[in-house]
């Protein structure tokens, strides 16, 4: 990990304690060795934190008392966050997760048969200003830390029914994950490493509006994580308007970058496409999409626009979406229609909007 953590050098009393949940294994090993302990103690600590859910150093009963005291003098352990839950008639649960400083984020548990997906946030709010997304209305409040990103898993696990288990993890909640790359990467390491939660990276998807350099870095550092790119338009003119980051990374640059990504033979890049009535859902749009993605190993996920109060768009009609899908399929693209879940509790894609709780 390139980012330096100030907490490693913090001495008791002269600086606020850093959160041990922010550390990667190599950083904790350095600390452990500097304390005169054997390096494997770091794995023991991580095991307590990430597999057994310990929330105090005192609980780490196989560590010596002196070493536990030394850890306590240098680190705190952030508590698992509290969440208020809204339940949809379709089994979807939306968690309003309270962060330490009064900010709040939303995470969504989405059961579908044997699959239970957790939709994770990466930022409180978002700076990307996509015109069809409720989170954009908040603006960016701040980045989440790695511990806050991963804390959503702990909060979600508390809400599962007996026997229910999370099987998939998608960064499709609030925020642009690749605009918070260092913290996202730390969180992905914790989630997917053997020293952390041991989740298979193939079960993790990062969705981005198309921050090209960070996309390339993500797949270099986490080659097995799935990438989803939010495309939504087939011309720069329209994409500039509805997803303004396009002015920085226009379509050609984005698609060229996708073509160059080190995608494994059996994998594909997913492109998300929000269907906005009369805006991007014509058959000419579908044909342009086929031409744009033609040379790529691509899969298209059509998302019918989920409305929110004041939104300047309407959802495309079902038969328009099916006609659009048919054109993509004739063009040899894999195309699916994403079923909207949790609309009755404003938990569907693009409906997440978490305000600071007053009082
Ligand atoms: N910033 C990331 C991840 C968050 S949004 C990204 O842009 O990919 C996850 C997905 O929901 C994106 O594809 C996004 O475009 C889509 N989305 C946003 N608002 C929506 C809405 N109102 N209806 C349907 N999908 C929406």
Determine the average pLDDT of the residues in 242-248.
Answer: 98
In the structure, what pLDDT confidence band is assigned to residue 1 with cuts at 50, 70 and 90?
very low
Determine the average pLDDT of the residues in 132-139.
Answer: 95
Residue whose Cα lies nearest atom 12 of ligand 1: it is: 230
Q: Are strands 115-119 and 104-112 parallel, antiparallel or unpaired?
A: antiparallel
Catalytic (active-site) positions: 106, 349
Instruction: Identify the pLDDT of residue 229.
Output: 97
- Residue 300 CA to ligand 1 centre (angstroms): 14
Length of the chain, in residues: 359
Instruction: Say if residue 358's pLDDT is above 70.
Output: no
Which two tokens mark 169? 């993890």
Ligand 1, closest atom to CA 301?
Answer: 13
Instruction: Say if residue 359's pLDDT is above 50.
Output: no
Which among 206, 305, 215 is positioned nearest to 254, based on CA atoms?
215
Q: Degrees (nearest 5) of the Cα angle 19, 24, 27?
A: 85
Rounded to an integer, what distance in angstroms lies between the CA atom of residue 129 and that of residue 309?
A: 16
Which among 251, 260, 202 is positioned nearest to 227, based on CA atoms?
202
Q: Which of 215, 274, 341, 347 to mutate to test the pocket of ligand 1 (most atoms within 8 A of CB)?
A: 274
Instruction: Identify the pLDDT of residue 255.
Output: 96
Instruction: Identify the pLDDT of residue 88.
Output: 94
Which two tokens mark 226? 């799935």
- Residue 14 CA to ligand 1 centre (angstroms): 43
Which among 174, 271, 285, 265 is positioned nearest to 224, based on CA atoms?
265
Instruction: Identify the pLDDT of residue 356.
Output: 57
Determine the average pLDDT of the residues in 325-339.
Answer: 95
Instruction: Identify the pLDDT of residue 89.
Output: 94
Instruction: Give yes or no for residue 293 CB within 6 A of ligand 1.
Output: no
How confident is the prediction for the chain on average, in pLDDT? 92
In the structure, what pLDDT confidence band is assigned to residue 14 with cuts at 50, 70 and 90?
low
Instruction: Identify the pLDDT of residue 13.
Output: 52
- Residue 133 CA to ligand 1 centre (angstroms): 6
Instruction: Give yes or no for residue 123 CB within 6 A of ligand 1.
Output: no
pLDDT tens column, 36-76: 999 999 999 999 999 999 999 999 999 999 999 999 999 99
Determine the average pLDDT of the residues in 311-325.
Answer: 97
Instruction: Identify the pLDDT of residue 9.
Output: 47
Which among 155, 145, 159, 160 is positioned nearest to 190, based on CA atoms?
145
Q: Are strands 226-230 and 204-208 parallel, antiparallel or unpaired?
A: parallel
What is the reported pTM?
0.94
- Residue 172 CA to ligand 1 centre (angstroms): 7
Which two tokens mark 243? 């997803």
Task: Name 5's bridge partners.
Answer: none
SS3 254: helix
Which two tokens mark 9? 């050098």
Instruction: Say if residue 284's pLDDT is above 50.
Output: yes
Instruction: Give yes or no for residue 135 CB within 6 A of ligand 1.
Output: no
Instruction: Say if residue 119's pLDDT is above 90.
Output: yes
Rounded to an integer, what distance in angstroms lies between the CA atom of residue 177 and that of residue 345?
A: 24
In the structure, what pLDDT confidence band is assigned to residue 107 with cuts at 50, 70 and 90?
very high
Instruction: Say if residue 26's pLDDT is above 50.
Output: yes
Instruction: Identify the pLDDT of residue 181.
Output: 98
Instruction: Give yes or no for residue 342 CB within 6 A of ligand 1.
Output: no
- Residue 350 CA to ligand 1 centre (angstroms): 5
Residue 120 burial by Cβ neighbours in a 10 Å radius (0-12, 13-18, 19+): buried
Which two tokens mark 300? 């298209």
Ligand 1, closest atom to CA 171?
Answer: 3
Which among 30, 33, 28 is positioned nearest to 46, based on CA atoms?
28
Rounded to an integer, what distance in angstroms lies between the CA atom of residue 230 and that of residue 260?
A: 17
Rounded to an integer, what distance in angstroms lies between the CA atom of residue 130 and that of residue 150?
A: 25
Contact between 60 and 49 under an 8 Å Cβ cutoff? The reply is no
Q: Which residues are CB-contacts of 21 (< 8 A; sequence separation ≥ 6)? A: 49, 77, 78, 146, 147, 150, 151, 190
Residue whose Cα lies nearest atom 24 of ligand 1: it is: 305
Instruction: Give yes or no for residue 133 CB within 6 A of ligand 1.
Output: yes
Contact between 197 and 240 under an 8 Å Cβ cutoff? The reply is no
Residue whose Cα lies nearest atom 3 of ligand 1: it is: 172
């Amino acid at each position: 990990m390139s980012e330096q953590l100030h907490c490693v050098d913090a001495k008791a009393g002269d600086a606020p304690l850093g959160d041990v949940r922010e550390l990667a294994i190599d950083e904790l090993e350095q600390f452990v060795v500097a304390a005169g302990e054997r390096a494997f103690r770091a794995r023991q600590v991580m095991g307590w934190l990430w597999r057994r859910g310990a929330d105090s150093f005192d609980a780490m009963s196989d560590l010596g008392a002196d070493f536990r005291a030394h850890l306590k003098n240098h680190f705190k352990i952030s508590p698992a966050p509290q969440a208020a839950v809204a339940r949809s008639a379709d089994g979807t649960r939306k968690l309003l997760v309270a962060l330490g400083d009064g900010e709040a984020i939303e995470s969504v548990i989405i059961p579908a048969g044997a699959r239970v997906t957790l939709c994770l946030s990466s930022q409180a709010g978002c700076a990307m200003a996509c015109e069809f997304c409720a989170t954009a209305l908040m603006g960016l409040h701040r980045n989440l830390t790695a511990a806050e990103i991963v804390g959503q898993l702990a909060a979600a696990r508390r809400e599962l029914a007996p026997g229910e288990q999370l099987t998939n993890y998608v960064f499709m909640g609030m925020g642009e994950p690749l605009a918070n790359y260092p913290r996202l990467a730390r969180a992905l390491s914790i989630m997917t490493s053997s020293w952390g939660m041991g989740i298979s990276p193939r079960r993790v998807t990062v969705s981005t509006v198309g921050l090209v350099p960070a996309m390339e870095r993500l797949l270099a550092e986490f080659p097995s994580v799935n990438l989803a790119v939010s495309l939504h338009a087939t011309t720069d003119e329209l994409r500039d308007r509805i997803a303004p980051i396009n002015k920085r990374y226009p379509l050609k640059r984005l698609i060229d970058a996708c073509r160059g990504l080190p995608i494994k033979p059996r994998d594909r890049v997913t492109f998300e496409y929000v269907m906005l009535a009369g805006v991007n859902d014509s058959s000419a749009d579908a044909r342009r999409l086929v031409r744009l993605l033609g040379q790529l190993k691509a899969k298209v996920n059509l998302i019918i626009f989920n409305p929110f109060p004041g939104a300047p768009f309407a959802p495309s009609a079902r038969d328009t979406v099916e006609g659009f899908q048919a054109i993509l399929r004739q063009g040899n693209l894999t195309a699916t229609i994403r079923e909207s879940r949790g609309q009755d509790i404003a938990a569907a894609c693009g409906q997440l909007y978490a305000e600071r709780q007053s009082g």
